[in-house]
Amino acid sequence: MTGGLVRRGLLHLGLLFDGPDDLVASALPTLRQALDDGDEVVVAADRGTVRRLRDALGADARRIAFPPPAAMVRPSAPDFLTAVGRWARPDRRTTVLGQYPATMPARDCGFGEDALGVVLGDLPLTLICCCRRDLDPELLAVLRRTHPQMATPTGPVANPDHRAPATASPTPAALWGEVAGRVGVQNLADLAHLRRCVAEVAARAGLEGDAVRAAVLAVHEAAVDAVRRGEPDHAHLTLEVRTLGHTLLSELTGPHGIPAQQGPGDPLARVRPFCARAVVHDEPERHAVRVLNTV
């Protein structure tokens, strides 16, 4: 049913609907797959949708949690990322379906949705974000732009309207503030400058001791991988470091793609032990790679 999509990391699906029947038809393939795979499944939807979903799933619906829509945090909320991060379980996948409220500001919603892929892209989550077609056209546009796949009655399909946040996207800046440190890297000999940059920003953000060491090492390892994939002495990498409270977000961009595979071949296996999150954004059409770490 997944149309060839491999369920690893974050699966972020958009769903456009006209009414409850339409919504249920498009969501069912993904929800059935989640139940078959033993996922924890949460559906926060209006009563009409919940009723139709119970009818369609029969006894399987008992394995779904149905909190009221008001209990779900909105993508526009400041603590959206934290709330979503808590849904993830270490031992199994979690699938969550939620609906856009009609009154949600499109701009703030866009920041939240973009940030999911940027910051939480490696979490074992399937999110189905549903938007009624008669809502604010700007909200519809946000849904189309921010979801790599769309949920349809035949299962998830690639979304041609999806645009990953560009390297220069205001999203990271809007989420994390201005760039606090920036350095260019061409080869392994430049990594000392990169480490100094991260250490200085980390210290200014109030990190100390092992927290600084971990931040420096995580970014360093990400850069080592990226440099080794580039031409010798011409890696053309740029590191930008931003802070939010005691959290560092380091963004490494360059022209050389990293195969985004998990498991034994995980390109970030050396990075992950030293940071909270590490995500690859491979955008071959722009020959850009972003590796992000929050520590």
Partner 1 sequence: MTSLLPARPDRDAAPSHHTLLVTDAVDQGRRGAASWVEQELSLGSKVFYKGWLPEGGRADQHWLTGPAGPRGARDALSTGQLEFLDFPTLVERSGATANGVLAVYKGEVERALDDLWPTVAMTQESPELPMADDAGLVSEYATWEAGFDDLTHRWPVRMLCQLCVASESERAVWETVAVHHRDVVDGFWSATADDGHWQPRGDLDAHVARRFGAAVHGALRTAREAEHGPDLHLDLSGVDFMDVACADILMLAARSAPAGQHVVLHGGPRFLRRLFDAVGRPASVREGGDPP
Pairing mode, if any, of strands 247-254 and 181-185?
unpaired
**With respect to partner 1, which residue has the nearer C-beta, 138 or 210?**
210
| Residues of this chain, 131-160, that bind partner 1 according to CB under 8 A | none
Closest CA to 42 of 2, 99, 81, 3: 99
Nearest approach in angstroms of CB 23 to partner 1 is: 45
Closest CA to 181 of 99, 255, 248, 84: 248
**Interface pick for partner 1 out of 38, 273, 286, 287 (rule CB under 8 A):** 273
Nearest approach in angstroms of CB 125 to partner 1 is: 25
Site string for partner 1, 190-229 (x = CB under 8 A): -xx--x-------------xx--xx-xx--xx--x-----
Nearest approach in angstroms of CB 228 to partner 1 is: 8
Residues 6+ apart with CB under 8 A from 164: 117, 148, 281, 283
Decide if residue 258 touches partner 1 (CB under 8 A): no
Closest CA to 253 of 127, 175, 165: 165
Run of H or E residues at 69? none
**With respect to partner 1, which residue has the nearer C-beta, 74 or 220?**
220
Q: Given the rule CB under 8 A, which of 10-18, 36-44, 59-67, 266-274 is the region that contacts partner 1?
A: 266-274
**Interface pick for partner 1 out of 189, 203, 262, 287 (rule CB under 8 A):** 189
Question: What residue spans of the chain are helical by DSSP H?
Answer: 20-36, 47-57, 80-87, 106-119, 137-146, 170-176, 191-204, 209-229
Positions that interact with partner 1 (CB under 8 A): 187-189, 191-192, 195, 209-210, 213-214, 216-217, 220-221, 224, 270, 273-274
